[in-house]
Structure 1
């Protein structure tokens, strides 16, 4: 395991969805990335996942630093998407920093 020394911030967003709404919420998350996040300075990546039982959608986002993340959360377009998603789900984003990284031995 190696220690992380950069300023990168990860956001894990566990989204509890209404029954039958997982694909709608996942599609809105992907659209949000395509329309707003991907061109935002400091955005690195986002993975969008649907729980096998369809009860949750999760996103794992990487940002260059906390200041970048803080700036986008006030963007009107992001707030509009969050409101659309909230019609079908409850969002719970939490920012993290990496304290270690382990990969499988080859």
Structure 2
């Protein structure tokens, strides 16, 4: 009786959750002066946009991101039921390509 989450849902929600976790850590550490990237005066001088409009923009962007991801996962379908067997050479080539890209 486990809680199953599809890869599609996880791929859509996980980046958003990770973003907000890191943002929360950044905001929490900014209250400690030794962990600040910029001084309060410098931050107030250079930040021309309010935090509320930044949050609204991020939420809108993440909504668009989630909608596009769900649409793409719906269009492309699920490959979970397909049992693919790749040769070791193909897997090695894909791994090397991924390492070069990263």
Q: Same fold (TM over 0.5)?
A: no
TM range (shorter): under 0.3
TM-score, normalised by the number of residues in structure 1: 0.27
Q: TM-score, normalised by structure 2?
A: 0.28
Larger radius of gyration: 2
Q: Which has the higher helix share?
A: 2
